Amino acid sequence: MRQLPVCVILSACALLPFVNCQRRSDDKKEEVEFVCPEGQGNGNFADPATCRRFYQCVDNYPYLNRCPSGLYFDDINKLCTFKNEARCGPLPATIAPSTEPPQDLAQKCDTSKCVLPYCFCSRDGTIIPGGLDPEDVRRYKKQRRKANP
């Protein structure tokens, strides 16, 4: 077996403190800081770098979370699931179409033309037209039933 000269071993030991074994910073991937999407409120959002992680935004602050082993983040359902079921994100948010109120709504009740028993309307649905007392309405209904059996 061949032996190294003592001076080579001593030289290597002397240089060891000056050797940097860490990766150079330019080799390292640049980590982009995640920013919670504006106007979408609290919720889970896909990590742009990997499907194994997601961010939970709370009050516009992102908290990094990892999916359990073997699971991937589904950006549609916003949860961790099996790889074949996951739709990796981030996927663009779909903006819901604006809806207009239907044109065939019931007409607003005109309280001046509203006469019991054919009409019963008020803003909150609790006021009897003409300011009648609920007892008077009950009596009116009883009288009407007796008259029209």
With CA atoms as reference, report the closest residue to 37 among 53, 56, 65: 56
| Average pLDDT along the chain | 74
Q: Which fold has domain 33-94?
A: Antimicrobial Protein, Tachycitin; Chain A (2.170.140)
List the domain boundaries for the chain.
Answer: 33-94, 109-149
| Residue 66 pLDDT | 97
Q: Which of 49-53, 97-101, 103-107 has the highest mean pLDDT?
A: 49-53
19-33: per-residue pLDDT in tens? Answer: 555 555 444 455 678
Q: What is the pLDDT of residue 27?
A: 46
The arithmetic mean of pLDDT across residues 49-75, rounded, is: 95
pLDDT of 86 strictly over 70: yes
